Amino acid sequence: MPTPSKTWIDDLPKDRLIAEFSVWSADLMRLADDLGRVDPHVDILHIDVADGHFAPAMLFFPDLVAGVRKVSTRPIHVHLMVADSIILSQIEQFADAGSDLISLHVENESVANEALDLLDRRGVAAGMVLKVDTPVERIETYASRLRFVTLLGTAIGVKGQGLDEKAGARLQQAKRIIAGCGAADRIVLAADGGIREHTVPLLRQSGAETVVLGSLAFNAPSLDERMAWMRAL
Ligand SMILES: O=C(CO)[C@@H](O)[C@H](O)COP(=O)(O)O
């Protein structure tokens, strides 16, 4: 299965919301079939990784990414929610497995620069994620090295929650900071968590260029209709 081109981030659509599909919300017992079902609508596959310590969930592993790589040509975005002490070895393993973009957390402060150096050496695009209460200004330090910035709109690593009321204002602030760093054309701004029919318009208006779709897409009564609605926003 060919991997996406080096320039895949530059080739993402700019005239509509980018659709990032969260594998966590797929039918895990029939994963290949479910990914095949949604594939025509997918711009990016999002794979959460959590160690039960940095985030409460225990989620996904490199062999799963390697398996997804075999059944999909879509770019794979790995969201690492793991402790500083294991992040470098996790990056190596998820890069080996075929990830196209790996995001660590701004809160992984003690190892963040080393992790970004490693992603650079491995030729994997770098992203960063902020927990729902982390000051947005903290992306400024890293902005020159990033292709993606993702703001969590809910508590980390828990599915099925409602959107935090600060999410819209935080996206607007991130947008201003990214523009102030001269990185508006390079960094894609993403919203993850609390992605619902009534929240997507607000997130879009607040500056989100992509949303991480979970149940909103995988459980949609008609995926064609839901995606047509989303793309028209
Ligand atoms: O990481 C997350 C939620 O924080 C997403 O990746 C989940 O997949 C969303 O699932 P739903 O809440 O939409 O069911």
**Which pLDDT tens digit goes with each residue over 23-72?**
999 999 999 999 999 999 999 999 999 999 999 999 999 999 999 999 99
**How many percent of the chain have pLDDT more than 70?**
97
Rounded CA separation 129/211 (Å): 13
Q: Which of 17-26, 110-119, 153-162 has the lowest mean pLDDT?
A: 153-162
25 lines ligand 1 (CB under 6 A): yes
98 lines ligand 1 (CB under 6 A): no
What single letter denotes the amino acid at residue 2?
P
Q: Residue 4 pLDDT > 90, yes or no?
A: no
Q: Residue 231 pLDDT > 70, yes or no?
A: yes
154 lines ligand 1 (CB under 6 A): yes
Q: Residue 3 pLDDT > 60, yes or no?
A: no
Provide the ipTM: 0.93
Question: Atom 9 in ligand 1: which residue has the minimum CA distance?
Answer: 214
Rounded CA separation 87/21 (Å): 23
**Which pLDDT tens digit goes with each residue over 89-136?**
999 999 999 999 999 999 999 999 999 999 999 999 999 999 999 999
Torsion sign over Cα 32, 65, 211, 188: negative
pLDDT at 77 (0 to 100): 98
Q: Residue 1 pLDDT > 80, yes or no?
A: no
Ligand 1, closest atom to CA 154? Answer: 4
Rounded CA separation 228/60 (Å): 30
What single letter denotes the amino acid at residue 201?
P
∠ Cα 230 68 200 (to 5°):
15
100 lines ligand 1 (CB under 6 A): no
Task: Give the domains, in start order, of the chain with CATH numbers.
Answer: 13-231 (3.20.20.70)
**Which pLDDT tens digit goes with each residue over 124-147?**
999 999 999 999 999 999 999 999
